[in-house]
Amino acid sequence: MTPGRPLSDDVITHQRVGVRTPLTRLGDRAKGGCRFDVGCSHWDDIRRVGSELTDKYVLGQQLRGKEFCEICVARERSSGQLYSCKRYSKKSGRSVRRAARMEIRILKMVKHPNILQLIETFETRQEYFIIQDLAMGGDLFDWILDRGTYTEMDAREVVKQVLQTISYLHSLNIVHRNIKLENLMYYRLDSHCKVVIGDFHLARIEMGPISDPCGTPEYLV
């Protein structure tokens, strides 16, 4: 993908990354997973674009909406496989465009069992799209709220995996800068053994000390 390359409105460039990791079928949203439902899509305008993205994927229900991006379920037409699709709007400003390009760059660098695998990326004149594996078990914040308790053994397993993943990122000079419960997700709906880290929009490649404040205010010490 070449940022800044002139494109017509109905053309998408894309790059395939790696090999798909099979995922099992998702459960209901109420159980911590999510359900593919085209009728719930908030991206109807995207489906009308005659593009390579929508030729290959059907975009379904929105999983998360943020000020700078949206995340939805994407079903691959050829296999029925479900993925997540993050959309950045270039109209949101220079900082958002920079964050999108940096997230794509970093995701291409990493390969770790506790980081959601990048499948491929698309770019139009208006947007960036990031296709990744889909974590089915929900984020830890909602999971703890729903359960009401969290044992020391549960916390130990999560912290162990998170620290191992952060150590891997730091070995590549990558700093996530937004580790929080909402960005830690159980990979499978039926097993709470594997935790994955997501949302690299604030991540950076840094060779020295970092002094600028960053992250979610509620989690700042």
Domains (range + CATH), the chain? 13-132 (3.30.200.20), 140-219 (1.10.510.10)
E strand or H helix at 170:
helix 152-171
List, for residues 24-37, the tens digit of each pLDDT value: 223 333 334 444 44
> What is the reported pLDDT for 183?
92
List, for residues 191-214, the tens digit of each pLDDT value: 778 999 999 989 999 988 877 777
> What is the reported pLDDT for 138?
86
Beta bridge partners of 123: 13, 128
List, for residues 140-187, the tens digit of each pLDDT value: 988 888 888 888 998 999 999 999 999 999 999 999 999 999 999 999
The token pair that represents 188 in the structure block: 């499978």
> What is the reported pLDDT for 24?
29
> What is the reported pLDDT for 190?
76
> What is the reported pLDDT for 63?
85
List, for residues 91-129, the tens digit of each pLDDT value: 999 999 999 999 999 999 999 999 999 999 999 889 999
> What is the reported pLDDT for 97?
93
> What is the reported pLDDT for 188?
87
> What is the reported pLDDT for 149?
84
DSSP category for residue 217: G
> What is the reported pLDDT for 221?
60
Beta-sheet pairing, 184-186 with 127-132? unpaired
**pLDDT beyond 50 at 9:** no
Secondary structure E strands in the chain: 13-16, 57-65, 69-76, 82-89, 118-123, 127-132, 174-175, 184-186, 195-197, 204-205
**pLDDT beyond 80 at 1:** no
The residue with tokens 């900082």 is: 95
List, for residues 49-100, the tens digit of each pLDDT value: 437 888 999 999 888 777 778 999 999 999 999 999 999 999 999 999 999 9
